[in-house]
Amino acid sequence: MTKTGLLDKYLEAREDMVRLLKDRGIADERVLKAMLQVERHLFVPIPLRNHAYDDAALPIGEGQTISQPFTVAVMTEALHVNEYDKVLEIGTGSGYQTAILAAMGIRVFTIERISSLLKTARQILESLNVKFVSKTSDGTIGWKEFSPFDGIVVTAGAPEIPKTLIEQLKVGGKLVVPVGSLDFQQMKVVTKLNENNEFEVADKADFKFVPLIGREGWHENDG
């Protein structure tokens, strides 16, 4: 049975997806458990549901995508957060990453710049009783009111590390952000070292994201 009370015809596909994530090196059992639990097909447009458990990004409208499951797993694992921690997500998109974090018991604050996407994501998340706080805004400037956060995850590609987001992290907290050109980005795991906002950066693999557009991101007409 699913959260919605219906027979889960996608369970086998989701189990295969999680096996693939393990094979690709995702080791955090909490992340794997959440990805087995959250029904990704509910976050993709109905005509694409049969592809919901492919390890692929899929279009969700407005030129945006739901991230590839492997990417979501890598970013979630890299945050190194625990139950009850506070995480800020930049780029709500479909709401899938929000649901994964919430399934891990994390208090999620999420910002999306396209209001129609946030409206749809809210409807899906609320229908699944997911608890989260959200707003339509430019996430590159964070959400000061609720800061500091234990972790911040940016689900769109930035030209450089957004410094305001580091200011809104707790000391020891991690900012996970893909940084690079419009064509491809390298995943950066940024750890805040002290109250002076000094930080260290660990580089992960390359990915391809839609652009982060905003004051500390790309400009609307870049590219």
Owner of token pair 């809210």? 122
Residue among 40, 58, 76, 91 that touches ligand SAM (CB under 6 A) = 91
Selected range binding ligand SAM among 26-34, 63-71, 171-179, 183-191, rule: CB under 6 A? 63-71
Q: How far is the CB of 194 from ligand SAM (least distance, A)?
A: 27
CB nearer ligand SAM, residue 98 or residue 150: 98
Size of the site for ligand SAM (CB under 6 A): 26
Nearer to ligand SAM, 121 or 198 (CB): 121
Q: Is 151 in the site for ligand SAM (CB under 6 A)?
A: no
Annotation marks residue 137 as catalytic: no
Return phi, psi of residue 64, to 5°.
-110, 170
CB 105 within 8 A of CB 33: no
Angle between helices 29-37 and 69-79 (to 10 degrees): 140
CB closer to ligand SAM, 193 vs 219: 219
Asked whether position 106 contacts ligand SAM by CB under 6 A, the answer is no
Q: Is residue 150 part of the contact set for ligand SAM (CB under 6 A)? A: no
- The verdict on 138 binding ligand SAM (CB under 6 A) reads yes
Q: Three-state DSSP class for 215?
A: coil
Listing DSSP states for 7-58 in one string gives --TTHHHHHHHHHHHHHTT---HHHHHHHHHS-GGGGS-GGGGGGTTSSS-E
Q: Which residues pair with 107 in a beta bridge?
A: 86
202 DSSP β-pair partners: 189
Instruction: State the catalytic residues.
Output: 67
- Positions in the binding site for ligand SAM (CB under 6 A): 64-67, 90-91, 93-94, 96-97, 111-114, 117, 138-140, 155-156, 209-210, 212-214, 217
